[in-house]
């Protein structure tokens, strides 16, 4: 190992490296015990993150989508232009996207804030929450049914009914090998899906074939949970390695030759 000079203070980049290294060590100090340095870094992270995201949401979402639209709508209303303000055409019909349409989400947002402002009028927040839950459910449920149920069910049975030798030839695979591999994969996928679903079927007592399916489902679930846990640990370890590389290479200037 060759120890180079530690990052200097006299440059903007060096000062940034020292600050980042100090905050990293403050977080690592929690491995010993809770202490004021860790609390400082934790509170700093929460504060900076909150300020950053509030700024991002304001400039990227709130200002262009609500404030600017309302400003255009009130300007048009002041000029007597009902078409731009309320989206009304000359015959009284409704045009698309009037500027003052944003009064509706503004009102719903104010209703939510009444929880913290007025107990007497806090009940109005239920309207906002009901609207939000209803719209979000209407958007999320069809999407979840399509992606998490229908498409996965289609993928579970696709290899049983749609595979042929022409498909294998177009993919550059040996049809016999490809057929065997796909059938094994499809069989395991189907058994795993049915047994995992059977484990959560509580309408009948777990006896006979259902009991066997439950036990098989437990094994598949444990394999799935283990793989997910291993992936999560691997991701966290990669973050730790990144921080250690920063401390050794960029801050302390340690290089391996």
| Structural domain boundaries in the chain | 163-257
Q: What is the mean pLDDT of residues 124-149?
A: 92
Closest by Cα among 48, 136, 19 to 56:
48
pLDDT at 114 exceeding the cut of 70: yes
Q: What is the mean pLDDT of residues 16-29?
A: 94
Extract the runs of DSSP E, i.e. beta strands, from the chain: 2-3, 254-255
Closest by Cα among 108, 68, 75, 67 to 85:
75
Q: What is the mean pLDDT of residues 43-59?
A: 96
What pLDDT was estimated at residue 118?
A: 87
CA–CA distance, 96 with 78 (Å, rounded to integer): 20
pLDDT at 92 exceeding the cut of 80: no
Q: What is the mean pLDDT of residues 216-228?
A: 95
Q: What percent of the chain has pLDDT over 70?
A: 81
């Amino acid at each position: 190992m060759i120890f180079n000079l530690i990052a200097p203070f006299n440059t903007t980049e060096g000062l940034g490296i020292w600050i980042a290294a100090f905050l990293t060590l403050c977080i690592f100090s929690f491995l010993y015990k809770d202490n004021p340095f860790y609390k400082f870094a934790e509170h700093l992270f929460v504060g900076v993150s909150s300020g950053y995201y509030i700024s991002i949401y304001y400039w990227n979402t709130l200002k262009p989508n609500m404030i600017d639209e309302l400003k255009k709508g009130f300007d048009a209303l002041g000029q007597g232009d009902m078409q731009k303000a309320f989206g009304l055409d000359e015959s009284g019909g409704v045009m698309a996207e009037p500027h003052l349409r944003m009064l509706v989400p503004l009102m719903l947002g104010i209703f939510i804030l009444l929880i913290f402002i007025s107990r007497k009028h806090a009940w109005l927040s239920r309207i906002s929450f009901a609207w939000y839950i209803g719209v979000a459910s209407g958007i999320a449920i069809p999407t979840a049914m399509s992606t998490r149920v229908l498409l996965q069910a289609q993928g579970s049975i696709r290899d049983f009914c749609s595979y042929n030798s022409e498909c294998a030839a177009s993919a550059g695979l040996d049809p016999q090998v490809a057929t065997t591999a796909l059938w094994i994969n499809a069989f395991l996928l189907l058994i795993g899906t049915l047994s995992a679903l059977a484990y959560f079927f509580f309408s009948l007592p777990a006896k006979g074939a259902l009991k066997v399916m439950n036990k098989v489902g437990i094994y598949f679930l444990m394999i799935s949970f283990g793989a997910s846990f291993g992936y999560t640990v691997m991701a966290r370890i990669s973050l730790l390695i990144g921080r250690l590389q920063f401390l050794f290479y960029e801050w302390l200037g340690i290089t391996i030759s």
